[in-house]
Amino acid sequence: MDEIHTNRRRDIRVKLVGQQGMPALTGQCCMAFGPTVHYERMTTTEPDLDPRPLIGALTHSPVQVGSPERWTMYVSHYDGHVRRLVVFIHGFIGQTVKTWLDFPSIDPTRPENVWWLESDLLFAGYESTKDTITGVAHRVREHLEEFYPNPARQLLVVNGHQARADVASRYDDLVLVGHSLGGVILRRALSDAAQVWVDEGRPPSRPILLDARNCMFSPASAGFRAGGFLGLLRAVPLWSGIEMVLRRSSAYTDLQPGSVVLDEIKRRTISFAPNQDPDFAALRANIAWASPDNVVYSERYETDFVDQSWDNTDHQSVCKPRAVLYNRPWAFVRTGGDG
């Protein structure tokens, strides 16, 4: 769960001057910090954004995808090869970008941060109180090929200017990141992709999702807990009315422990990833749990990698790094571990 949707409007365009040992970065960015900056005026409408710094505040610009709705791309202005696409999927009542918006500004002079300069970021939004898990998972499978492995070149133009010198080179890597319900959606999309490939006789051309690496922050794979936020709501007199509204949401109903949807996703995932079969490595999740997490059950699948649990985080904060104080999510997405 996350904050309510907001819209912000900003008027900043920057050109970053490359520092010693680092190539120059040019283009439109959300905010400006750090290295020498030259300003020009521009106008950009950005959904789900607020004035706090986020990943790539110096290095990426937001572009509305258009179709599917609620999808937003943050395109890199890196002058080198942009090697990967990182796809973010938020959780129940989360927001397309704002769920991840506490990501700090990246210092482009630090060697480990070149990984992020070499990445375009795709935020796949949806209406969690209306959309179904199956529907969103299908949307991800259906549309991701429009963005990977070939970049969506029409999105690499920001305010009339090409975002970077090389907009044609294919990506090398795909990284999938899910929070809470977003993790369940990723699991469904991955298991469906595996089923399609098997049904077609495992041809050399595989669904692109099967070549991905996935990272999940407190995925709701085992369902919502009775405690935490929902547990507190149950204690108030208006709970019956609140629950009536929530139960109109297919996703809320499907996230109850032991639901048919959760059980089937688990069964299918495990059936396609036995004995660490490398053909289905994409279905093995790298997981970081909040500790304590009173919103979801912290249980992984037997086919997943050994999970992590991060003290002094909760269900909302676990996926939101803060400069100096909490950088683990950066390393987790980059490496699948603590870096």
Q: Where are the domains of the chain?
A: 7-335
Give the long-range contacts of residues 65-68, CB within 8 A, separation 24 or more: 65/122, 65/152, 65/155, 67/143, 68/124, 68/139, 68/143
pLDDT on residue 245: 64
pLDDT on residue 57: 45
pLDDT on residue 199: 97
How far apart (Å, rounded) are the C-alpha atoms in residues 23 and 15?
12
The answer to whether 214 and 177 have CB atoms below 8 angstroms apart is yes
pLDDT tens across the length of the chain (339 residues): 443 333 333 332 333 333 333 334 444 333 322 232 222 222 333 445 443 334 444 588 889 998 999 999 999 999 899 999 999 999 988 888 888 866 545 667 778 788 989 999 999 999 988 899 999 999 999 999 999 999 999 999 988 889 999 999 999 999 999 999 999 999 999 999 999 999 999 999 999 999 999 999 999 999 988 666 555 455 555 556 666 666 667 777 888 899 999 999 999 999 998 767 889 999 999 999 999 998 899 999 999 999 999 999 999 899 987 777 788 888 899 998 765
339 token code pair: 């870096």
Q: Which of 233, 231, 230, 135 is nearest to 184 (CA)?
A: 135
How far apart (Å, rounded) are the C-alpha atoms in residues 226 and 78?
45
Q: Which of 308, 307, 314 is nearest to 291 (CA)?
A: 314
How far apart (Å, rounded) are the C-alpha atoms in residues 51 and 229?
27
> The pTM is what?
0.80
pLDDT on residue 109: 72
How far apart (Å, rounded) are the C-alpha atoms in residues 326 and 312?
10
How far apart (Å, rounded) are the C-alpha atoms in residues 22 and 339?
22
Give per-residue burial for 179-195: e unless 16+ CB within 10 Å, then b: bbbbbbbbbbbbbbbbe
What is the topology classification, in CATH, of domain 7-335?
Rossmann fold (3.40.50)
Q: Which of 92, 78, 121 is nearest to 253 (CA)?
A: 92
Q: How many CB atoms lie within 10 A of CB 331?
A: 15
How far apart (Å, rounded) are the C-alpha atoms in residues 299 and 218?
9
